[in-house]
Amino acid sequence: MLIHDGQSRGVRFDLYLAVWLALAAGGVNAAGFRALGYFSANMTGNVSTLSEELALGRVGTALWALALVAGFILGAFAAGVLIEAGFQRGLRGVYALSILAEGLGLIALSLLGALWTSAAVLHLMLLGMSLLMGLQNAASTRISDGRVRTSHVSGIATDIGLELAALTGGRTGMAGDHRQVILRRLALHLATLVAFFAGGVLGVWGYERIGSLVFTAIGALLVLLAVPQLVTARRR
């Protein structure tokens, strides 16, 4: 799941990757909003907030939205640098290392929020989560050759609509192999959407019961996904 990349990956690997990472991303995004009032993975919403707040003259809030977008980009940049450095050194487990870094980062932010509840710490947590969502999106996009984007719900919904159109009202005489490809893509995108939604429900449910420690649980899930993949990569 976190070892094979590009065209060498089977559909099953992409499906597992999409479900588990979208589940985590949905949890972080929704629980983060419940805790702090902003989405850490919704860059469309954050850019819209930036433009609205600037138009209304609320520069402080606009700068905060800009910081979240910048954090997401920085996370994607960090993932890209880590992956390229790993390739140059022949590290087969570099994608798993990226997800491990995300998991450990979430655990650290969660513990920080549990120990200190000042406004500055809460803002730091949200910035950190935005960075980690950028890291996750970049890693999943790169390993799957663009087939998996775990929190890009607008794009996923668009793909679902196009795939349904191709299946129900598309070209006549569609070859069976091509139809199977579209069906597999549709299954992947539907599974990603459902997992993101389910993660959001579980994230808010968990936050209502254990507070910021819900991010520890999500981080632990990512660590449990990444460590066995790292071990497998080292044995090869």
CA distance 215 to 202: 11
pLDDT one-digit tens code per residue, 51-65: 999 999 999 999 999
Residue 3 pLDDT > 70, yes or no? Answer: no
The stretch 153-178 carries a mean pLDDT of 82
CA distance 83 to 217: 25
pLDDT of residue 12: 81
CATH class of this structure's domain 6-228:
mainly alpha
**Is the C-alpha dihedral spanning 52, 55, 61, 64 positive or negative?**
positive
What are the CA-CA distances from residue 142 to residues 9, 128, 149, 233 (Å)? 12, 21, 9, 17
The stretch 205-210 carries a mean pLDDT of 94
pLDDT one-digit tens code per residue, 5-49: 655 566 788 888 899 999 999 999 999 999 888 888 889 889 999
Dihedral angle of Cα 153, 129, 210, 116, to the nearest 10 degrees: -160
| Percent of the chain topping pLDDT 90 | 56
In the structure, what pLDDT confidence band is assigned to residue 115 with cuts at 50, 70 and 90?
A: confident
Identify whether the C-beta of residue 68 lies closer than 8 Å to the C-beta of residue 40. yes
Identify whether the C-beta of residue 30 lies closer than 8 Å to the C-beta of residue 43. no
What is the residue-averaged pLDDT of the chain?
88
The stretch 110-133 carries a mean pLDDT of 88
> What residue spans of the chain are helical by DSSP H?
11-36, 43-55, 59-88, 94-115, 119-143, 153-169, 176-210, 214-235
The stretch 206-235 carries a mean pLDDT of 90
In the structure, what pLDDT confidence band is assigned to residue 170 with cuts at 50, 70 and 90?
A: low
Domain parsing of the chain, residue ranges: 6-228
